[in-house]
Amino acid sequence: MERQNVVFTHMICESLERALHEINFDKLFVLMDETTRAKCYDKIRQCDALAQAGEIIIGATDTHKNVESLCHVWESLSRQGATRKSLLINLGGGMVTDLGGFAASTFKRGIKFINIPTTLLAMVDASVGGKTGINFNGLKNEIGVFNNAETVFIDSDFLSTLDTQNMLSGYAEMLKHGLISTAEHWARLVNFDVMHPDMAELQKLIQESVEVKQSIVLEDATEKGIRKALNFGHTLGHAFESLAMEQHRPILHGYAVAWGMIGELYLCHVRKNFPSDIMRQTIQFIKENYGIFQLDCKMYARIHELMTHDKKNADGIIRCTLLSSIGNIALDEELTQTDINEMLDFVRES
């Protein structure tokens, strides 16, 4: 997979117009969820190139990242006359870019698509790296393919539409990027005032986060090796996310990852001698900004079961990415039931 074309801009219309001029397509479509259409579409609606674009609207939040929404996108494309030469623009958060990318990748065996992420989470994670997909059978991102967008446009001006919780959700992925890259990057992230962000500094941190992900994906596009580093915090975090959905108390993805990192940092410390001072400072940052995940011992068995579905597993053994220090990554670390119980005890008691 080639290096993805990521464009940082504060002039989204001009940048989009230039890109569309270079792509050969017959019909253009814009996929949005209900929230994105209300809060973000006006920023690109006036672009001349979108004058004849068809609109496709799906329900908002991760609960709609499912087969039903996927079928709606396929049906809408078909009804509006999309062909194999058509182009889909995914305008929205990670749910929209994941689902839209998968819809485009499979409609008529694949049409081109562009991502315009409108949330911090989508900017630093979901829209970059070529992963597309949907949730299925109660499991996160169970169905999907690897396929790059033609271009990803990152305009931090969209962040003015976000509430604090969604800003924090994206910031958790940035914190993860700091832990798997350099101590300098990590330090800037844990000392940044995410509750009262300096937007110019945030833009720099976003670019650094995207570069961390880009460099890893370029080395390992389909997650056979080092790309598994990007799953730090996710083995446990995805289980928290799925459990919360089952219990009808859905949580934002980044919050699940943040709480997952608490547990996995504990394992890093006891298994790999990860520095205790960095672990404590990171966990303190998470607790102060994200609160805690409500957890009791009765949930342990179900969390273990959910963890068995993680795509990094092999031969029925749960595998996890751990760190011996910032940027020093250990892949495919096997977890026992005892490891998982101790990790959950730590999350609950911390």
Cβ burial, residue 263 (10 Å; 0-12/13-18/19+):
buried
pLDDT under 50 in the chain at which residues? Answer: none
Side by side, the strands of the sheet bearing 28-33 are 6-8, 152-154, 112-117, 87-92, 28-33, 54-58
pTM of this prediction? 0.93
Q: What pLDDT does residue 34 have?
A: 97
DSSP letters of 97-129?
HHHHHHHHHHGGG--EEEEEE-SHHIIIIITSS
Residue ranges of domains in the chain, CATH in brackets: 6-161 (3.40.50.1970), 167-349 (1.20.1090.10)
Q: What pLDDT does residue 282 have?
A: 98
Tell me how far CA of residue 333 lies from CA of 198, 232, 278, 325, in angstroms.
38, 11, 21, 15
Q: Which residue has the tokens 């709480």?
A: 259
Q: What pLDDT does residue 341 have?
A: 97
Q: What pLDDT does residue 1 have?
A: 60
